[in-house]
Structure 1
Amino acid sequence: MVEFKPKLSLSALDLAACVYELQKALPARVNGVQALHSRSFSLELYVPNSGARSLVLDARGFMFLTDASTKRVVASQLALSCARLKGLWLRSASQLDFDRVVTLEFSEDYKLVFELVGKGNIVLLKEGRVVSALNYFRVKDRVVEPGSEYTPPPPRGVDLGVSVELKGETLLQALVHAYNCPAELMAEALFRVGVEPSLSPGSVDGDTVGRVKGVCAEIIGGVRGGMLEPNLVFSDGEAVDVHPILFKHQGLRVELRPSFSSAVAEYYEPALKRLLSEEAVEELSGRAKRLLTSAAKSRQAAQESAEKAEALRSMAEVLSQNPLLFELALRAARNKSAAEVSSLMEPLGLNVGEVNGISLVLSFGSASFRFDPRRSAYDNLGSLYDEVKSLRRKHEEALRAAEELERQAKGVSVEADIERKRVLRLSVAHRKWFEKYRWFFTSANKLVIAGRDAQQNQAIVKRYAKQGYTALHADIQGAPLTLLMAESDDQSLYEAAQFAASYSRAWSAGLSAVDVFYADASSVSLQPPAGEYLPRGGVMFHEKNYVRGVTLELSVGFLAIEGEPRLNAWPSAAKVGYTCARIVPGEDDKDSVAKRLLKILRQAGGEYQEYALTLRVDELLPLIPGPSKIVEQT
């Protein structure tokens, strides 16, 4: 087994699978563009007959199609430029040879090129010329600048069909260096052929190298043709890699997923959430700093206006107490006699500046005022007092502006602090194995888990179903396999049944109650009896008992796992956790219910208040089974 390193970027093989799945979803209309962070954005798509999807492009190394909605987090010039794609149709997706370069073609001759070479880049083209890009550069063989004709990056290695001399310390290194083929694929091909990757290149004959290349080509062709087995690779309970096919050489535990995009999303989205929060903190902190800088400038302006107003007021008092001298000075200014003006004004403590037939500038301290010698002393004093009033208004306005900016900065700083805590929560939370499923603890502190999809339903049966546990399923097509992982009692059984019922299709159908059947978990399997058919992803109950008329109702709130707070939903029959609200099937869409629940949770107070402030709507959405109604908040 070769040394394992967690995947930090999708390979060319991964991109081939991404392109295959994306192409199957096209054409799709672009409904919007959202900047997720400084090096990624998502195209919000509408796929006919399928609905809304998001295509995430991250130049750090990831691309996938997801059902999750995305929101703008940061400002991005590239995303702003790509806003012109809104309303256009995404018609096709293609991979450049077998390189890590994907081209998306839109109507009106627009293209978006996704390059995972070098530092990564995303380039928007119109009629083959660069409109905008994440990174602009000019090198010997390639230019990416606005208006330049687009040239794709050069291939990393030669085609698998070409024979070249192998150079390197090991056979794996030599093959990866020579051919345009990812290391993980080459390692898998060596494993399947039975060749040790650490051998020296010179110790392997050409026929063996040919067989290795043949396996690579076969795998590539299969992926391009849709022969996929999407999976996540786990180590110590954490997803550490993602593949479009089953790789045997790594020797780690794998879990299949329904699509490669869903596998990539599951692998990537936790890191994305942390990154989004980190960038949001940075943006909010910068915004708060800019607001405080503006507030300081406003306070400085207010101070200067106050000082000038005070100086001019003092000048006005001096001149008002000596109106005759002021009138004589104005007459001298009309005669352009600067010396005479100085002899009249300087004894009063006023400095004389410009003197001519139409202007007389007097100053007191650091403040000066321009008088009009053609007007009377009375009129000039009126203008001076008006200036004093104007400066005082400016002082008050600048102070109010400063206070408002400081208030805004304080609010933004609070937001940044909340985001900082959110980053910490996402970064250090110690997730338990059961949190990948739907879960809760009964009033008797017994763990109940339920599948989020058909694959998880089957995984629960394979790994955890055993004699003494109780398996449950709502008596309706489209329901999770639910497992009470302890000896059953009447109350725990009903709570588990309510959980199974609430997360079934009965909720979206608007039913208020549904029957739930159950059996000892040992009588549940993935194999139907002879002559019967079990749908793909289905689970077979070989015996059934019933809990009739189970009401659909969930409590939403907080609880702690080994001292760490968690947001969760559980059957309302269970008296556990800190309940903030109860929901039942209704007519309000999930998004609006999630937003209302978020406000309720943030107002809950108590020991979970700080945790509640770090929550977002997207963390509530998975807890809501479908259209709902909030019937009680506590």
Structure 2
Amino acid sequence: MKTVFNSLDLAAAVQELKSLHGMRINQIYDIDHKTYIFRFHSPNKKTVLLIESGSRIHITTYTWPKSPCPSGFTMKLRKHLSNKRLENINQLGNDRIVIMQFGVDIAMHYLIVEFFQRGNIILTDNTMSILSVLTPHKEKNVRFAVREKYPMDRAHEKLAPPTFDKLQEMKANAKKDATIHKSLLPVIDFGASLIEHALVLSGLAKNTKFSGDIPEDKLKLLEQNLLKAEEIFNEISTKGCKGYIIKQTVKNVDGTDIENYLEFHPYLFKQFENSQFSEYDTFNDAVDDFFSKIESQSIEMKAVMMEKEVLSKVEKIKQNQDSRIYELTVTQETDKKKADLIMCNSDIVGDAILIINSALAAQMDWSSIDTMVKNAQSQKDPVALIIKSLNFQTNHITLLLRDIYDDVYGESEPTPVDIDLALSAHANAKQYYNHKKYAAQKEKKTLESQDKALVSAQKKARTALKEIKTLTTIKKIQKPYWFEKFYWFISSENYLVIGGRDQAQNELIVKRYMTAGDLYVHADIHGASNVVIKNPSGKPVPIKTLNEAGTMAVCCSVGWDAKILCSAWWVTHEQVSKTAPTGEYLQTGSFMVRGHKNYLLPAQLAMGCGFLFRVSDSSAERHKDERRVRNVENIYEQSTSENKGTDDSRIEDDRQGEKSDNTSGVEEQTVRLEEQFETLSVSSKSSGDDDNENKDTISLSKDECDDSGKGQPLQPDKSASDVNRNDSDDEDDSGNEGPSLQCEEEKSDVKKDKLEIYDDDSGNEGPPLQSEEDNDLKQSDNKNIKAKQKPRNTNKNVNQQRGQKEEKQTDFAVPSNSKQAKETAPLKRGQRSKLKKIKEKYKDQDEEEKKLRMLVLASAGEKKLTKKEKKNLKNQKPQITEKPKFKKPAEVTQKVKEPEDLDELEQKIQTDLDALAVLTGQPYPDDELLYSLPVIAPYSTLLNYKFKLKLVPGTTKKGKAAKLAVETFIRNEECTQREKELIKTVDCQKFATNFPGKVKISVPISTKKKKNPAKPSVGGEETF
């Protein structure tokens, strides 16, 4: 396959590249260490030039993957060539060197590209002094390095075609094995294909020996055709040309045809007239199409080779089985023949055994016995004549035996037969018969197992061919998303969240990928990733997505291995700057954040791994609302619709508490809430252990409220929970049980929800949505959980709208009237015994021990009220002044760019963001799945995924954990055949790079294949 430009190709390419004159360089990128992309622009058009050192240079219309971090050489080119106009482009002499001039006068720079040997790219100033070189080296006495002068006389001039006399001289001086084609290459710089074209026109083959007998008329004809070749070269280099790609059709294993590109040329040469070819308007178009298809073509060819290798294994197994059967058949025939010969010549065989054994018994040495046999053979002794050799080491002799019936018919050629001296003639014959019988049994078993072996091999081959076909199809379809090189996930509300793996990526994410409307999330811990929430719409980002991004920032840091919890925070994109204060220096990946930080809830060290599937456009419609933004209303609606028709007891426990329709449930809850707060006893007092338990469980300590700083989103105003802060001397003993009981009820709810996450038999449905919302309100292990009261009443005469409004306002409020709460909140099943155990556990705890325990837990204790505040609270009717709110990001007022205003990178980002709708974690059985995409995300994001595993800090290494996760998903009994095929194609090494560190994997019971479904499970998860 041709992949490098020759002189003729370079001349054709340079002629077409003159269309770039007057255009300015907009940006420069590198694909790899030797391939670079130059983006040119003018008022009317944009053009992309691709240069591969030593190989090619052409204009491209295809999208090529760019390196995420530009190299030093790329930065040097950007520094000197950005926004400069291309003034001239020429081929230096007739050599494979292209020189491009940018700018004029003092600001002029030259870019020199070499296409011979390994190639090189050199940047010089207006005096041809080298500023930067891709590959520094030394050639004879000339150094190609910075500050050296580039030698312009390096290129050789154009060589004229050899005359007839020159050809005669070359023929006379040619080496014996030299071909005429190789001899002409250094003399004429036309390129190998054009020289071969002249040879074919002259009636000479490419491999004709130059030293051989070549007629003079053919040499004269060759001289004329070389002159015609020179005319072709001049025409191509001055007027331009069409492009041609030479193709070859290869048969696939299944009989389909595959087009294989072989070569590209600016002219249809004589030797390719009978070959398959494609014609293009310009040579540049042909080259661009050729190199863009090489990758796809190589994938197809590799697949064909793998398929042939698989089928050859089946054929080898079949041949091996046939050869074994043949060998066993031959062995049987040979053993039977030898046994028959021994029986036919039993007398003479017995005499030979007797004579040799007698000599051995007489203690004759082996050489003497051999001499005795030879003497007897010379005397024509019939017994000695049949002895061929003596093998005393194995106690055997070899006899030459003939069939007596063969002698009658004149057939000779005796058969050598090994005879055991320890056995008689008949015993030796029996031994050969036994060998024949054993070979027959082995042949029978081989024949029986042959069919099974072939069926097994063919089955494995079909499976392998199917996997190869799937992998080939996926590689053709799947184009890597730009965000796959970072930590990434798609939030529960369809926001793309990306994070840097290292300092370089942290720098890149903020500088290149954070745009207007995006939010920056970070954590106050060393090594935390720079996390960016992509928000192209500019609308406020929901708090759930912010918390998920905060979890990612904390987990992708040293806190994962150290098992340290901390709070994350977010700011808007305009608050992040690379400008450091005077006298300070910001390292790579570090940024200055100015203004107010909005702190999030402390994140748990819990990540998850799962799989997203790319569905076809026809199947994407049914998945469009899977990651929609959920507020209180649609969470309530969805939860009631999901539970419709399920167990009534679960609905009573988890949702409404009694059998009623949705509307009446909301109205009753609102009325109960009003009545509860009407009857709150502000002056009620409690003392003893129950009072301590109530304060410890319900009230948020000062540390909890203030630890995260001003920006913590959860900042409820003074509400009913503040009433519990009265001094214990002013409360009744009977006022303790209600709030304390209610808190334990809420704890039971949280625990039950956790079990439902792992012990969920609903398959793809995932846990109840209410659990997802509760999950957002979880604090770290060393902090308490603020309870959420759900009051009840039977009055249904309040309108629905007001009920919903009041319900929203009381999401984080806790009433403190114990009697009313006890009457309106009946105990759930099993909670009465729980309360007894709690009271039994803490019955001997006094106030001093309580304070010591709280001190150990780093609690700030209770806020002590002054006498004036107590008096005001007694006279004040408790009420909810405002719903506790999280601070939401303000709507971005900056104008979001239209698609036509976006540059290439922004367009690619926008395209991939729009394509998130076709990625789903909840595939339906009848969906058309194209490929799979492994994802590592906060576990709360993956709750509704079909394939999910929980990851917490542990000791399992990344690579092993990735393989274990893939194997677990494949063994899942709910995994369809298509899903297994797509999951198997995932590269575990790339998958492992997204793991935050060493992990412990927790498998949900619903994911693990249950071997004994009848046996109830004790726990909700299995870890390994």
Change (3 A) 1:285 1:400: farther
Name the structure 2 match of 1:156.
none
- Does the 8 Å contact 1:285/1:413 carry over to 2? no
Checking the alignment, whether the CA contact within 8 Å between 1:294 and 1:405 is kept in structure 2 is no
Residue number among 550, 570, 573 corresponding to 2:937 in the alignment? 570
**Which has the larger displacement, 578-587 or 567-576?**
578-587
Is residue 319 of structure 2 the alignment partner of residue 297 of structure 1?
yes
Q: Which residue of the other structure, out of 383, 386, 391, is the alignment partner of 2:439?
A: 391
Q: Which residue in the other structure is 2:369 paired with?
A: none
- State the distance in 2 between where 1:345 and 1:7 align: 90
Match of 1:219 among 100, 122, 132: 132
Matches of 1:430 and 1:584, distance apart in 2: 31
| 2:1002 is equivalent to residue 631 of structure 1 | yes
User: In the aligned structure 1, how far is the partner of 2:309 from the partner of 2:554?
Assistant: 47
Separation in 2, partners of 1:484, 1:7: 27
CA contact (8 A) 1:558 1:608 kept: no
Alignment of 1:100-249 (within 5 A): 172-174=90-92, 177=95, 183=98, 186-187=99-100, 193-194=107-108, 212=126, 214-215=128-129, 217-220=130-133
Deviation at 1:551, TM superposition (A): 0.8
Q: Structure 2 regions of 5+ residues with no counterpart? A: 1-16, 38-53, 57-66, 68-87, 113-122, 137-143, 148-292, 352-381, 387-399, 615-917, 919-928, 1008-1024
Number of residue pairs aligned between Structure 1 and Structure 2: 405
Q: Is the 8 A contact 2:339 2:433 kept in 1?
A: no
Larger radius of gyration: 2
Task: Say yes or no: does 1:594 pair with 2:962.
Answer: yes
Structure 1 distance, partners of 2:420, 2:408, is 15
Larger relative contact order (CA 8 Å, sep ≥ 6):
2
% same residue: 20
User: What whole-Å deviation, never above 9, does each CA across 1:19-64 have from its counterpart, x for those lacking one?
Assistant: xxxxxxxxxxxxxxxxxxxxxxxxxxxxxxxxxxxxxxxx999xxx
The alpha carbon displacement at 1:517 in A equals 0.8
Question: Do residues 422 (structure 1) and 793 (structure 2) align?
Answer: no
Contact persistence 2:89–2:101 (CA under 8 A): no
Q: Which amino acid aligns with 1:354?
A: E
> Residue type matched to 2:326 in 1?
E
Contact 2:530 2:553 in 1 (8 A): yes
Is 1:616 aligned with 2:669?
no
> What is residue 494 of structure 1 aligned with on the other side?
547
| Equivalent residue, structure 2, for 1:482 | 531
When residues 556 and 396 of structure 1 are mapped into structure 2, their CA distance, relative to the original with a 3 A threshold, is: farther
Q: Which residue of 1 aligns with 2:601?
A: 548
Deviations 1:86-144 (A, max 9, x none): xxxxxxxxxxxxxxxxxxxxxxxxxxxxxxxxxxxxxxxxxxxxxxxxxxxxxxxxxxx
In the TM superposition, residue 432 of structure 1 has moved relative to its aligned partner by 3.5
Shift of 1:624: 0.8
Alpha-carbon spacing, 1:467–1:195, altered in 2? closer, same or farther (3 Å): closer
Structure 2 residue 487 is the aligned partner of structure 1 residue 438 = yes
C-alpha contact (below 8 Å) 2:110/2:124 kept by paired residues: no
Structure 2 match to 1:99 = none
Offset, 1:570: 1.1
Report the Cα offset of residue 342 of structure 1.
1.7
Contact 1:280 1:416 in 2 (8 A): no
Contact 1:519 1:545 in 2 (8 A): yes
Q: Which residue of the other structure, out of 471, 489, 497, is the alignment partner of 1:448?
A: 497
Change (3 A) 1:485 1:316: same
CA deviations on 1:311-359 (whole Å, 9 max, x unpaired) are 5798799999xx8x7869989997999999227998xxxx96534xxxx
| Letter of the 2:936 counterpart | A
Q: Tell me the CA shift for residue 465 of structure 1.
A: 4.2
Please say if residues 585 and 628 of structure 1, whose CA atoms lie closer than 8 Å, have aligned partners that are also in contact. Answer: yes
2:576 partner amino acid? V
Alignment equivalent of 2:587, drawn from 510, 532, 535: 535
How far, CA to CA, are the matches of 2:297 and 2:560 in structure 1? Answer: 34
TM-score (norm 1): 0.50
Residues 333-352 of structure 1: matches in 2 within 5 Å?
A: 341-342=404-405
Name the SS for the 2:567 alignment partner: strand
How far is 1:472 from its partner? 0.9
Give the Cα separation in 2 of the matches to 1:344 and 1:222: 85
Q: Tell me the distance in 2 between the aligned counterparts of 1:475 and 1:274.
A: 46
- Following the alignment from structure 2 to structure 1, what is the Cα–Cα distance between the partners of residues 494 and 590? 29
Helix, strand or coil at the partner of 1:444: coil
CA 434–531 in structure 1, closer or farther in 2 if over 3 Å, else same: same
Tell me the SS of whatever aligns to 1:535.
Answer: coil
Distance 1:576 1:226 in 2: 59
Distance 1:521 1:484 in 2: 10
Contact 1:301/1:395 (8 A) holds in 2:
no
| Shift in alpha-carbon separation, 1:571–1:420, aligned structure 2, 3 A | same
Preserved CA contact (<8 Å) 1:278 1:420: no
Equivalent of 2:413 in 342, 354, 357: 354
Deviation at 1:448, TM superposition (A): 1.9
TM-score by length of 2: 0.33
Q: Secondary structure at the match of 2:955?
A: strand
Give the secondary structure class of the aligned counterpart of 1:595.
helix
Deviations 1:272-317 (A, max 9, x none): 9999988986786566456435423332223324544665798799
Preserved contact between residue 190 and residue 197 of structure 1 (Cα < 8 Å)? no
SS in 1 for 2:318: helix
> Residues 491 and 418 of structure 1: is their aligned pair in 2 closer, same or farther, counting only changes over 3 Å?
same
- Flag the 1:176–1:450 CA change in 2: closer, same or farther, 3 A: farther
SS of residue matched to 1:296: helix
In 1, are the aligned partners of 2:962 and 2:988 still within 8 Å (CA)? yes
Secondary structure, counterpart of 2:566 in structure 1: strand
Distance 1:432 1:338, change over 3 A: closer
Q: How far 1:382 moved relative to its partner?
A: 0.8
Deviation of residue 379 (structure 1)?
3.5
Q: 1:76 maps to which residue?
A: none
Bigger proportion of residues as strand? 1
Post-superposition offset of 1:370: 8.6
TM-fit CA distance, 1:376: 7.1
> Whole-Å Cα distance in 1 between the matches of residues 563 and 548 of structure 2?
20
Q: How well do the aligned residues superpose, as a CA RMSD in angstroms?
A: 5.5
TM superposition shift of 1:578: 3.3
Contact 1:330 1:377 in 2 (8 A): yes
Please give the secondary structure, in 2, of the residue aligned with 1:214: coil
**Cα separation, partners in 2 of 1:330 and 1:408, compared to 1, 3 Å:** same
Q: Cα–Cα, structure 1 residues 326 and 533, in superposed 2: closer, same or farther, change >3 Å?
A: closer
The answer on whether the counterparts of 2:339 and 2:429 sit within 8 Å (CA) in structure 1 is no
Report how far residue 545 of structure 1 moved.
Answer: 1.3
Are positions 1:521 and 2:889 aligned together?
no
Distance 1:468 1:10 in 2: 35
The letter of the residue matching 1:514 is C
Q: Give 1:388 deviation, angstroms.
A: 0.7
CA distance in 2, matches of 1:330, 1:378: 9
Give the 3-state SS of the residue equivalent to 1:549 in structure 2: coil
Q: For 2:126 and 2:483, how far apart are their aligned partners in 1?
A: 40
Give the letter aligned to residue 214 of structure 1: M
* Deviation by residue 1:182-238 (Cα, 9 ceiling, x = unmatched): x5xx5376789548999xxxxxxxxxx9954625x12239989999xxxxxxxxxxx
Deviation at 1:550, TM superposition (A): 0.4
1:575-604: per-residue Cα shift (whole Å, max 9, x none)?
Answer: 353333221222333233233233324434
2:982 and 2:124 map into 1 onto residues whose CA distance is 58
In the TM superposition, residue 396 of structure 1 has moved relative to its aligned partner by: 6.2
- 1: distance between equivalents of 2:956 and 2:950? 14
